[in-house]
Structure 1
Amino acid sequence: MITSEPVGAWFWEPAPVARASEDGTPRAALDLLTDVGDTLVALGLVTGEGTASIVLRERRAVTVPRYEIRDVPVGPGDGFGPGVTDAVGRAADVGLLPGRLLTLSLKQAGEWSEAGVGRRAEKLFSVRIDVWGEGAVVLALAAYADAWLTLDLRERPQPEVAAENAPRLAAALRRISELTGSEVDPGDPTRHARPTTVGFADLLVEGAEYEDSWGTFEVPARWKRLMGMLPAPSEGQDFASTTDRPVRYARVRRGERVLGYLWASVGDEAAGYEPRTAAGDAAFEAGVPWLLGLRAERLRGAGALRAWQGLLGGSHSGPEGSAVDTEEHEAASLDALAERSARY
Structure 2
Amino acid sequence: MITSEPVGEWFWEPAPLVDPADGGVLRAVGLLSGLADVLVACGLVTGEGSGSVVLSDRRAMASPLFSLHNVRVEPGAGFGAGVAAAAEQAAAVQLLPDRLLTLSLKLPGEWTEYGIGRRAEKLFTARVEVWGEGAVLLVLSTYADIWLTQDLRERPQPEVAADNAPRIAAALNQISKLTESEIDPGDATKHARPTPDGFADLLVEGAEYDDSWGTFEVPVRWKRLMRLVPGGSAAEDYESSTEHPVRYARVRLGEQVVGYLWAAIGDEAAGYEPRTAAGDAAFEAGVPWVLSLRSLRLRGFDPLAALSELLGTPDSGGSGSAVERTVYEAASLDALEELSGRY
TM class by shorter chain equals: over 0.9
Q: Give the Cα separation in 2 of the matches to 1:152 and 1:21.
A: 46
Q: Evaluate the alpha carbon distance shift between residue 82 and residue 140 of structure 1 in structure 2; reply closer, same or farther with a 3 A threshold.
A: closer
Deviations 1:238-273 (A, max 9, x none): 000100111000000011110000000011100000
Percent of pairs identical after alignment?
Answer: 66
**Aligned ranges 1:109-258 → 2 under 5 Å:** 109-258=108-257
**1:234, CA displacement in angstroms?**
3.2
User: In the alignment, which residue of structure 1 is the partner of 2:280?
Assistant: 281
**1:228, CA displacement in angstroms?**
0.7
Any stretches of 5+ residues in structure 2 without a counterpart?
Answer: none
Q: Evaluate the alpha carbon distance shift between residue 82 and residue 196 of structure 1 in structure 2; reply closer, same or farther with a 3 A threshold.
A: closer
The reply on whether 1:21 has 2:3 as its aligned counterpart is: no
User: In the alignment, which residue of structure 2 is the partner of 1:298?
Assistant: 297
**1:83, CA displacement in angstroms?**
4.6
Q: Evaluate the alpha carbon distance shift between residue 80 and residue 46 of structure 1 in structure 2; reply closer, same or farther with a 3 A threshold.
A: closer
User: In the alignment, which residue of structure 2 is the partner of 1:94?
Assistant: 93
Q: Give the Cα separation in 2 of the matches to 1:303 and 1:44.
A: 48
CA contact (8 A) 1:195 1:201 kept: yes
**1:284, CA displacement in angstroms?**
0.4
CA contact (8 A) 2:288 2:317 kept: no
CA contact (8 A) 2:225 2:286 kept: yes
CA contact (8 A) 1:9 1:195 kept: yes
Aligned-partner residue type, residue 160 of structure 1: E
SS at match of 2:60: coil
User: In the alignment, which residue of structure 2 is the partner of 1:107?
Assistant: 106
SS at match of 2:150: coil
**1:317, CA displacement in angstroms?**
6.5
Q: Evaluate the alpha carbon distance shift between residue 64 and residue 137 of structure 1 in structure 2; reply closer, same or farther with a 3 A threshold.
A: same
Moved more, 137-146 or 74-83: 74-83
The reply on whether 1:8 has 2:8 as its aligned counterpart is: yes
SS at match of 1:315: coil
Aligned-partner residue type, residue 13 of structure 2: E
Q: How many correspondences in the alignment?
A: 343
Q: Give the Cα separation in 2 of the matches to 1:164 and 1:80.
A: 26
SS at match of 1:262: strand
CA contact (8 A) 1:193 1:208 kept: yes
Aligned-partner residue type, residue 193 of structure 1: A
The reply on whether 1:266 has 2:265 as its aligned counterpart is: yes
Q: Give the Cα separation in 2 of the matches to 1:116 and 1:37.
A: 26
Q: Give the Cα separation in 1 of the matches to 2:242 and 2:140.
A: 37
**1:316, CA displacement in angstroms?**
2.3
Q: Give the Cα separation in 2 of the matches to 1:9 and 1:82.
A: 25
Q: Give the Cα separation in 2 of the matches to 1:81 and 1:141.
A: 16
Deviations 1:186-241 (A, max 9, x none): 00000000000010000000000000000000000000111111111433110001
Any stretches of 5+ residues in structure 1 without a counterpart?
Answer: none
Q: Evaluate the alpha carbon distance shift between residue 83 and residue 140 of structure 1 in structure 2; reply closer, same or farther with a 3 A threshold.
A: closer
TM-score by length of 2: 0.98
Q: Evaluate the alpha carbon distance shift between residue 208 and residue 78 of structure 1 in structure 2; reply closer, same or farther with a 3 A threshold.
A: same
**1:27, CA displacement in angstroms?**
2.1
CA contact (8 A) 1:191 1:210 kept: yes
TM-score by length of 1: 0.97
Deviations 1:281-306 (A, max 9, x none): 10000000000000011111211111
Q: Give the Cα separation in 2 of the matches to 1:81 and 1:206.
A: 39
**1:319, CA displacement in angstroms?**
7.5
Q: Give the Cα separation in 2 of the matches to 1:227 and 1:246.
A: 23
User: In the alignment, which residue of structure 1 is the partner of 2:48?
Assistant: 49
**1:80, CA displacement in angstroms?**
4.1
User: In the alignment, which residue of structure 2 is the partner of 1:77?
Assistant: 76
SS at match of 1:263: strand
CA contact (8 A) 2:11 2:184 kept: yes
Q: Give the Cα separation in 1 of the matches to 2:148 and 2:296.
A: 42
